[in-house]
Chains A and B, each alone.
Chain A
């Protein structure tokens, strides 16, 4: 009853004109950000962060959350229609969503993505609402060994999702982890790999790296094959057929559960959730060969998962003050700027923020469904802008987004460097997802490892003697064994074909 009472209080907070306005603005901005390739939720949040300084803390967090889950909705549109993920969590949607569009089923793909997102978003908000006290109790037991093991699992899972060579995935993780160590070591205060450049003392700016790796490299790659770019702007039958629903119902439910729980896990988030959901759907399908060729389950599951993960990822942030990813780290920054300390005391000290944000998730999901389905043809118009007019615009947005985060031109240079690096890597089939994941999680990963070893007097068995940590490491090991076996088999098959 307490939960219902609190939820009603939350609705009382969000149903004021000012908060409704900011929730709607956030949904609108989020969808636009998701639709426009080259500008993801992290960039949008960092760009809009200064705007929130002048509004009340509750409204600010409601708007920033709405941008976050709005981008998850909007991201599927470009993935399906242009084969460019609007944001990282929509990368997997490209695989089957774009194939469906090529087969003339863009409407069904967009429809199932929007409805799946709505269902999953609502289900996971209910989950967040009712199960948060229990989950918070579990999460409170996490110490450095658990954090380390969970992040190890996240890295292994991200290698599992790499479609090309596994070794390149491992290399990208290592490169991301290394990049995260550049700057001042928070434990010893020692500067690492800065080579005397003071701008690097705080490490690489995440916004600059992401803008470069995803935004700039995307534009450069597209410029090479600008005339091959296909936009499937003719959309028919947005409402999925009964057959589509039959095929998608279980993946949506599964995606909701996977997304919600992956979202809760520190270190994971919408990106991991969507990748994991895709892998689960492919493994559990009777026709795995259809994946990558336009299987609707490959759209429904990951889209549900990435939206469910948004609500899930709010739990550690709101209750423990622990941001799971870059987007939530920015939201945490926004809370601190407003004088609100995220953590276990938030629920008691600022119930308007805690329950207001939860209630806004329900409303926001509904707003997004109404914004996305009937207005899809309007969103598609953004994709009709000729690329020669769009690419300088995306680049200018990348430049402003990067610059405005710290008002530092050095970050623009970092963006350019990472843009070129991202372009070269993508040309040679290195996937950038594991790199970004490792870059975001790197500092917490390193800190957890070092703290765990310090608290156990340098006994590495600490990771195995604690049950949650042991289970996570066991799962990671199983996945690694599976990966190695499949790589060896693949290689044997390949050499057999060459010899034959």
Chain B
């Protein structure tokens, strides 16, 4: 899975299926009407192009040796970092409305730093609290954007 050749072929296979899927769905939206192109016309064209280019890339990549391709992730830490980062963002999206922006952002920022680029706890807490407070004040009070308040009211 960590070989670029395999990743590329997965990508190409996905393009083919995705393109076909778009075409099938587009037909349901009507390709042509008596007045001209229907709602499905442009999506159908894009689906054809995506599937067509996907097939072309699949064939071209298939002719290439997998030994030529490099690794998708250079080291074993990289996928973990990506996973943690995306996971933190998902957590942020899940908790922001319930706990409020300020609290969620301080906790998530602190966790992100500690898990991805570990530092001393005091540095992490200070950095996350200060940076989130600055952002919060800037957006909430200066720009007057209504940020989620959550259960605690801030």
Distance A314 CA – B70 CA, assembled complex (angstroms)? 46
A446 CB to nearest B CB, Å: 5
Beta-carbon contacts under 8 Å, A199-226 to B: 216, 219-220, 223-226
Nearest Cβ distance between residue B149 and chain A, in whole angstroms? 12
A271 at the interface (CB under 8 A from B): no
Report yes or no: A450 in contact with B89, Cβ–Cβ below 8 A. Answer: no
**A392 and B109 form a contact (CB under 8 A):** yes
28 of the cross-chain contacts (CB-CB < 8 Å) are: A168-B53, A171-B57, A174-B46, A174-B49, A175-B46, A177-B42, A185-B29, A192-B39, A192-B40, A192-B43, A193-B22, A216-B89, A220-B82, A223-B81, A223-B82, A387-B117, A391-B112, A392-B112, A392-B113, A395-B89, A395-B112, A396-B109, A396-B135, A399-B96, A404-B139, A416-B89, A424-B11, A446-B42
Interface of A with B (CB < 8 Å)? 47-48, 50-51, 54, 165, 167-168, 170-171, 173-175, 177-178, 181, 185, 187-188, 190, 192-193, 216, 219-220, 223-226, 387-389, 391-393, 395-397, 399-400, 403-404, 407, 409, 412-413, 416, 419-420, 423-424, 427-428, 442, 445-446, 449-450, 453-454, 458
- B78, B101, B113, B139: which contacts A389 (Cβ < 8 A)? B113
With A224-B74, A392-B131: A399-B89 Cβ-Cβ less than 8 Å: yes
The answer to whether A178 and B46 touch (CB under 8 A), given A185-B39, A224-B74, is: yes
List 6 A-B pairs, minimum CB-CB distance, nearest first. Answer: A388-B117, A174-B49, A178-B46, A392-B109, A453-B36, A185-B39
Find chain B residues with CB under 8 A from A453 CB: 36-37
Bound Cα distance A226, B85 (Å): 14
Q: Is the interface of B mostly helix, strand, loop or mixed?
A: helix
How far apart are the CA atoms of A175 and B50 in the complex, in Å? 7
Q: List residues of chain B with CB within 8 A of the CB of A397.
A: 135
CA distance A98 to B148 in the complex (A): 40
Q: How many A-B residue pairs have CB under 8 A?
A: 160
CA–CA, A14 and B46, complex, Å: 46
Quote the shortest CB–CB distance from A153 to chain B (angstroms): 17
Is A458 in contact with B36, judged by CB distance below 8 angstroms?
yes
| B101 engages A400 (CB within 8 Å) | yes
Q: Known: A396-B135, A412-B96. Is A190-B86 also a contact (CB below 8 A)?
A: no
List the interface of chain B (C-beta within 8 A of A): 4, 7-8, 11, 15, 22, 25, 29-30, 35-43, 45-47, 49-50, 53-54, 56-57, 72-74, 78, 81-82, 85-86, 88-90, 92-93, 96-97, 101, 105, 108-109, 112-113, 116-117, 119, 127-128, 131-132, 135, 139, 143-148
B50 touching A171 by the CB < 8 A rule? yes
Q: How far is the CA of A246 from the CA of B38 in the complex (A)?
A: 55
Q: B8 is contacted by which of A170, A392, A428, A450 (Cβ under 8 Å)? A: A428
In the complex, what residue of chain A is closest to B29 when comparing beta carbons? A192
A50-B144, A427-B72, A449-B37 are known; give 10 further A-B pairs, CB within 8 A. A51-B144, A167-B53, A167-B57, A168-B57, A171-B57, A174-B53, A392-B131, A393-B131, A395-B89, A409-B148
* Among candidates A178, A389, A403, A407, residue contacting B131 with C-beta atoms closer than 8 Å: A389
Interchain CB contact under 8 A, B146 and A181: no
* Docked CA distance A181–B25 (Å): 12
Q: Which residues of A contact B35 (CB under 8 A)?
A: 454
Q: Is the CB of B25 within 8 A of A419?
A: no
Which residues from B are CB-within-8-Å of A442?
A: 42
Q: What B residues does A395 contact at CB under 8 A?
A: 85, 88-89, 112
Docked Cα-Cα span, A423 to B127, in Å, equals: 26
* Contact between B81 and A224, CB atoms less than 8 A apart: yes
**Complex Cα–Cα for A458 and B88 (A):** 51
Whether B4 contacts A428 by the Cβ 8 Å rule is yes
* Known A224-B82, A397-B135, A458-B36: A178·B89 in contact at CB below 8 Å: no
Contact B49 A224 (CB under 8 A): no
Which of B30, B85, B127 interacts with A223 by CB under 8 Å? B85
Question: Would you call B36 and A47 a contact (CB within 8 A)?
Answer: no
Whether B15 and A419, one on each chain, are in contact in the complex, defined by CB atoms closer than 8 angstroms, is: no
Report which of B4, B29, B108, B146 forms a contact with A190, defined as CB distance below 8 A.
B29
**A50 touching B143, Cβ below 8 Å:** yes
Once the chains bind, are B90 and A416 in contact (CB under 8 Å)? yes
With A171-B53, A171-B54, A226-B117 as known contacts, state yes or no: A449 contacts B85, CB within 8 Å.
no
With contacts A47-B145, A51-B144, A412-B93 known, is A450 near B131, CB below 8 A?
A: no
